[in-house]
């Protein structure tokens, strides 16, 4: 694997502002997005659960062909690259992107020797207020102390972001110390955890759920985990929010 040299993006809706009520789908797709079975299941999920944002972890983007994500604008934060593909986080939307920021974890994961990426995108509501969306994949295969340090690094980065915020993804918080560190991190940012309906469909490790959505300065209307019959080793979470 090579260190990523680019963070692909395509902005097609820059004049379209975010509506007061919006929806999102958060999903660790385990690099399955190019497979026909995954594409079919994603189409089915989005038909039942329309989503203004797609927040995907472990996304695979080929270098050899133009990439069209169902006509959506998108930004990517890569964490690794090969001769043929780029891998990482992808945030896609039918609304415009005001700004994006990417970062990599300070430490590499053991065994795979790769870093985890972070993607922060900013979107403007029709009343000019902004929404910051943090798409993340928590570092794994490291000590709990390293996990906590990486959250502290992210906290320092996010403290400068004011206003409405959503932080979501696969947090890999599968033991008590990681759970405590994540709770502390979210409290410092004044974030609330979304209560998810059908939470038994959320990915668990050691009986601990690891996929989450957190938010602030928004009203959560509903959130639901969706059973996709093992297309990925995770299931997506769909949520609907509105401005306060």
Residues 163-177 have pLDDT tens digits of: 999 999 999 999 999
Is the separation of the CB atoms in 132 and 166 below 8 Å? yes
Residues 23-47 have pLDDT tens digits of: 999 999 999 999 999 999 999 999 9
Q: What pLDDT score was predicted for residue 5?
A: 83
Cα-flanking dihedrals φ and ψ of residue 180, to 5°?
-65, -45
Per-residue confidence at 229, pLDDT binned at 50, 70, 90?
confident
Which are the contacts of 207, defined by CB distance < 8 A and separation ≥ 6? none
Is the separation of the CB atoms in 124 and 17 below 8 Å? yes
């Amino acid at each position: 694997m090579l260190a990523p040299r680019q963070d692909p993006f395509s902005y097609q809706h820059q004049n379209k502002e975010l509506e007061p009520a919006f929806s999102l789908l958060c999903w660790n797709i385990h690099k399955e997005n190019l497979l026909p079975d995954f594409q079919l299941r994603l189409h089915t999920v989005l038909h039942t659960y329309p989503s203004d944002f797609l927040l995907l972890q472990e996304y695979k983007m080929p270098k050899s062909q133009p990439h069209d994500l169902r006509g959506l604008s998108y930004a990517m934060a890569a964490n690794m690259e090969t001769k043929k593909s780029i891998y990482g986080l992808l945030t896609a939307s039918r609304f415009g992107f005001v700004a994006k920021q990417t970062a990599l974890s300070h430490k590499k994961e053991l065994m795979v020797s790769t870093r985890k990426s972070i993607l922060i995108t900013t979107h403007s509501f029709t009343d000019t207020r902004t929404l910051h969306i943090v798409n993340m994949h928590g570092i794994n295969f490291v000590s709990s102390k390293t996990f906590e340090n990486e959250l502290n690094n992210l906290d320092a980065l996010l403290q400068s972001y004011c206003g409405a915020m959503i932080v979501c993804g696969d947090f890999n918080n599968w033991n008590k110390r990681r759970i405590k560190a994540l709770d502390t991190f979210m409290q410092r940012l004044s974030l609330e955890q979304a209560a998810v309906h059908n939470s038994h469909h959320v990915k668990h490790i050691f009986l601990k759920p690891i996929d989450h959505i957190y938010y602030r300065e928004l009203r959560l209307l509903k959130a639901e985990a969706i059973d996709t019959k093992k297309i990925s080793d995770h299931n997506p979470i769909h949520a609907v929010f509105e401005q306060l």
